[in-house]
Chains A and B, each alone.
Chain A
């Protein structure tokens, strides 16, 4: 294993993440916690888009559903966070599975448009279903407590997020290098060949939707606790663009790339805060730059330049990384009759 191989770098990142609360002020801790939450979102989205090749736009909505469920169960029904949070994840997973049902028969742009419609509908419900969601103004959630553990809310929530990132990263990494990961990539690269090898398309697409819903639900619950506030604009189309950017910049079809991409995008956005006014232009330019010059994302770049970054599934040796256009490769594999 080389010095700058994936394992060592991940270990170093983990050590840095673990000591961060002792080194930085509350503001930077908040940024670090935001990164952890986006890591969860990008891992889930990468399973769906990067591995399974489903061009879906519902992840921000499922993130919102996780946050709203966690928040509303506390505020409306008086549930404790520790019960509301897992319920939020369960509901988001269930919604992920449910929207996969109509989405399963659609491909490429049709899937994109229908999931986008679902996301807009969710946004509409957050805004207008005031008797439940408190409407456009959003609502405050009760501060969570880590008693009897000796942590402040900020530090406790940070470590809780880190715990979820580590565990869910390992689980996702194991899943994608198993027969499940192979089935996902098979569906992405050739639906017709996948099913002729006994891979049930509907089942594996639904599974990928469910996984991304679960990760988004966990992230949503943590995010509501981080902000102590839930409002519709946090889960809108820009949120979706942000998450898509993360997996493109990090590397489509790479779990470790999701970590790098989430980190990179949050840091870039924060750095650009200083240059108010050109923030969005600069952000757009960075995205275009990645798509043009680093189509495999950071993970693809590292794989090509450094030893020890090879991953199971779509490893590229020397050659060009797999094309990372936002159009699913499965569209190319039409049946010729």
Chain B
């Protein structure tokens, strides 16, 4: 039994008396792709905000690699190896695609302000290396042709994929993806589970995936956690979850039973 890479312990969050998360536990092992599903308002995005430090939990603890990260600044948590993407596009619209990716390397570069101002040789070398790494990251997602496009000139789906690459380039251990398939074209969606597996296998990144495209979750995830009204109502392999009576009632409904008849 390997130790969990990311561990959420008894986390509760409430906004104005409403419990958005109520005593949630979650253990994600290294190399796992974990699905996080549930109806709207179940607390999925709040969960990601707690883990990434944007909303500190009112109760409970979050451990990354065995060390507590509760109360640390989001930027520090990112430096410790936790990356994330967002439900809405958060691409830097004033930058080109390549510059967006280079920003993803921010915390792994170290030139000081004076070195940058005086454009020292060491700084130039670091800039070149940063640019080269950004090009490779674009190649990984097959979007090299877009390097010099401004961020504002991309389709929503393209922006989402670039954002994933921008997070990956910083070599995170865990990446939280908040509905990454929204806005993807059908073509891209078909390749998307492949991309997620490649991220895990080639980059060695553990993934936590919030997604409403259930087919994607069922295909790609090793374990699925189901939230409803701030509580964890089920957890297990996709097959277990799919057949869980409580899950079907709370979220999946008849539609899924019809499409994925229990075998």
A residues sitting closer than 8 Å to B (CB atoms) are: 171-172, 174-175, 178-180, 182-183, 185-186, 188-190, 192-201, 207, 253, 312-317, 319, 322, 329, 333, 335-337
Contacts and interface: CB of A to CB of B under 8 A. Distances in A.
29 contacts: A178-B119, A179-B116, A180-B113, A182-B99, A182-B102, A185-B99, A186-B95, A186-B106, A188-B94, A192-B54, A193-B86, A193-B91, A193-B92, A195-B74, A196-B52, A196-B74, A196-B75, A197-B106, A197-B170, A198-B78, A199-B106, A199-B107, A200-B73, A207-B113, A313-B99, A315-B148, A317-B149, A317-B153, A319-B150
A175 B117 contact: yes
Given A174-B117, A188-B94, A189-B92, A179 B150 contact: no
B65 interface: no
A336 B118 contact: no
A171 B78 contact: no
B150 A183 contact: no
A188 B88 CA distance: 16
Contacts of A193: 86, 90-92, 163
A197 B113 contact: no
B55 A337 contact: yes
A314 B95 contact: yes
B92 A178 contact: no
B150 A337 contact: no
Interface in B98-127: 99, 102-107, 109, 111, 113, 116-119, 123, 127
A335 B88 CA distance: 9
A179, A192, A194, A207: residue with the most chain B Cβ atoms closer than 10 Å: A179
A106 B90 CA distance: 20
B107 A197 contact: yes
Given A196-B52, A207-B113, A178 B123 contact: yes
A192 to B, nearest CB: 6
Contacts of B153: 317, 319
A174 B92 contact: no
Contact of A178 (B52, B83, B94, B111): B111
B232 interface: no
Given A194-B103, A319-B152, 16 more contacts: A182-B106, A183-B106, A186-B95, A186-B106, A195-B73, A195-B74, A196-B78, A196-B83, A197-B78, A197-B104, A199-B103, A317-B150, A319-B150, A322-B152, A333-B90, A337-B45
B166 interface: yes
Nearest to A202: B73
B75 A201 contact: yes
A243 to B, nearest CB: 21
A313 B95 contact: yes
Contacts of B105: 179
A189, A196, A317, A335: residue with the most chain B Cβ atoms closer than 10 Å: A196
Contact of A183 (B49, B83, B103, B152): B103
A189 B45 CA distance: 21
Interface string B66-87: 0000000111101100011011
A189 B100 CA distance: 11
B70 to A, nearest CB: 16
B55, B73, B96, B117: residue with the most chain A Cβ atoms closer than 10 Å: B117
In the A-B complex, the 3 residue pairs with the closest CB atoms: A198-B107, A314-B94, A178-B116
A192 B119 CA distance: 29
A129 B167 CA distance: 52
Interface string B138-182: 000000000011111100000000010011001000000000000
Contact of A186 (B87, B103, B116): B103
Nearest to A181: B116
Contacts of B79: 198
Interface string B44-57: 01100100101100
B75 A185 contact: no
Contacts of B163: 193
Contacts of B91: 189-190, 193
Contacts of A189: 91-95, 151
A336 B78 contact: no
A189, A192, A198, A333: residue with the most chain B Cβ atoms closer than 10 Å: A198
B130 interface: yes
Contacts of B127: 178-179
Contacts of A197: 78, 83, 103-104, 106-107, 166-167, 170
A189 B86 CA distance: 14
A247 to B, nearest CB: 15
A200 B163 CA distance: 19
B249 to A, nearest CB: 25
A185 B88 CA distance: 18
A322 B93 contact: yes
Contacts of A319: 150, 152-153
A180, A190, A193: residue with the most chain B Cβ atoms closer than 10 Å: A193
Contacts of B102: 179, 182
A14 to B, nearest CB: 19
Contacts of A194: 75, 103
